[in-house]
Amino acid sequence: METKKMAIIATKGTLDWAYPPFILASTAAALGYEVQMFFTFYGLQLLKKDLSGLKVSPLGNPGMPMKMPFGPRWFKGINWNIPNALQSLVPGYENLATSLMKQTIANNGVASIPELRELCVEADVKMIGCQMTVELFGFDQREFMDGIEYGGAATFFEFAGETDICLFI
């Protein structure tokens, strides 16, 4: 049987949207897929050596349930439906949401973004940074992980055109 192939274009640079590309890539690799990820646009943030700057942005996302990840069961069950209007006025709300999300994820035994990314590296997922975005946003390649490649959309199409699954995330 031929090896299945998956390509992911990772374009988002927030903590919450960092999960889907790394979870899908590491799962596919574990299932024997050959996987390539192309990081472009805001998604370049996910290649940074230091990922601690990633934040959840609950603004504009009323579908995000905000629950407290600690305390007794009844307390954890409350769905804090904080409206956008308030979110934008409370200083530090974004930081609060970010640390709540990190705690919830750790409490549930789900891997962190650096751990998921490391899983991808160990499973030989090929990671490509978009050269044009690096230049456009004025990034310094020394900010990024070692061992990645840089290329443009044309480079990526060589692989993407042969895939079984190609996702824009």
Q: Does the footprint of a second copy cover residue 163 (CB under 8 A)?
A: yes
Q: Give the residue ranges of DSSP H helices in 7-152.
A: 19-30, 73-76, 84-89, 93-107, 113-122, 131-136
Query: Which among 52, 55, 46, 69 has a CA at the least distance from the CA of 14?
Result: 55
Query: Which among 48, 2, 3, 11 has a CA at the least distance from the CA of 28?
Result: 3
Question: Stretches 80-88, 112-120, 121-129: which one binds a second copy (CB under 8 A)?
Answer: 80-88
Among positions 98-157, residues that touch a second copy (CB under 8 A) are 104-105, 108, 110, 132, 135-139, 152-154, 157
Residue 13 DSSP SS3 = coil
Among positions 37-56, residues that touch a second copy (CB under 8 A) are 40-43, 45, 54-55
Q: Which of 52, 70, 75, 77 binds a second copy (CB under 8 A)?
A: 77
Contact 14, 56 (CB under 8 A): yes
Instruction: Kindly write out the interface string for residues 54-73 of this chain, putting x where it contacts a second copy by CB under 8 A and - elsewhere.
Output: xx-x-xxxxxxx-x------
Q: Which residues, in sequence order, are CB contacts of 56 under 8 Å at separation 6+?
A: 14, 15, 16, 64, 94, 97, 98, 101
**Where along the sequence are the contacts to a second copy (CB under 8 A)?**
4, 9, 11-14, 16, 19-20, 23-24, 27-28, 30-31, 33, 40-43, 45, 54-55, 57, 59-65, 67, 76-77, 83-85, 87-94, 104-105, 108, 110, 132, 135-139, 152-154, 157, 160-169
